[in-house]
A = this chain, B = another copy of it.
């Protein structure tokens, strides 16, 4: 346990970081273990609350894949994927919305408010926050690439960031479900990483933090000493080309690059499995994870 004097010392150690982020907007992609393990979940809520009360403007974008899969099973629908994207017919989309908005988002909002915040849940339908368009799956077959319509899967066409800023200005924490809305009002299921990236870009966020289930980027995944704590966008693109960044890490890194391109100042892929990973990243000298900057 810590003595009061320890407390004081540590608060003072954190002060330069608090000063640095004071009044800045930080977008958090919330997902993975940090969203499914109750203990981690509780700690993320504390972290966000602390961020808010030391003068940062946190904006949360969450995923919800496991909950969706779970609920689809419950109603007897099988989850089908094409090139990693969920095939989303109308009935599936209805359930996606119900789970993301009516369950996952609602729960995060509730947890934040119980921690003393004033959080408000938003989906892309609220005030048409996330304008979306259909995204086709790319299927590679025999060296040919075919585009396949897999239903209500979309990508961001435009973020109406004034909605988020209106809420921030009045002291609310916006919590965003990654459901987009098309020109004809149809709903789209969008990858939460990409939504977080576009939101961070549109808000000119100081930082986009992607909570993941990995430690960050390694030059050689087998060699722990090859961990990369910081790289530029240019380097990141080169690493993808060179195959150093590969697999599931590619969409994460691409989200960071998108955020930087659209106006965010910094991004980081951090390990959400660590307790208080947000505070570790923001308020300690070491930081955690891999930072990608312009």
A residues with CB within 8 A of B? 2, 4-15, 18-19, 22, 43, 46-47, 49-50, 53-55, 74-75, 94, 97-103, 105-106, 109-111, 113-114, 116, 118-123, 125-128, 163, 166, 170, 172, 179, 181, 185, 187, 274-276, 279-280, 283-284, 286, 288
Docked Cα-Cα span, A113 to B12, in Å, equals 16
B10 A10 Cβ-Cβ under 8 A: yes
Q: Which of A19, A55, A101 has the most CB of B within 10 A?
A: A101
Residues of B within 8 A of A12 (CB): 43, 46-47, 50, 276, 279
Q: With A2-B9, A111-B185 given, name 12 new contacts (CB 8 A).
A: A6-B6, A7-B10, A8-B280, A12-B276, A18-B54, A22-B53, A74-B75, A100-B102, A101-B101, A102-B103, A106-B179, A121-B123
CB nearest to A181 among chain B residues: B110
A49 neighbours in B (Cβ, 8 Å)? 15, 19
User: Could you give 30 example pairs across A and B, Cβ below 8 Å?
Assistant: A2-B6, A2-B10, A2-B13, A4-B284, A6-B6, A7-B10, A7-B284, A8-B47, A8-B276, A9-B276, A10-B10, A11-B276, A12-B43, A15-B53, A19-B49, A19-B116, A53-B54, A74-B75, A98-B102, A100-B102, A101-B121, A102-B103, A106-B179, A106-B187, A109-B125, A109-B126, A113-B125, A118-B163, A120-B120, A166-B172
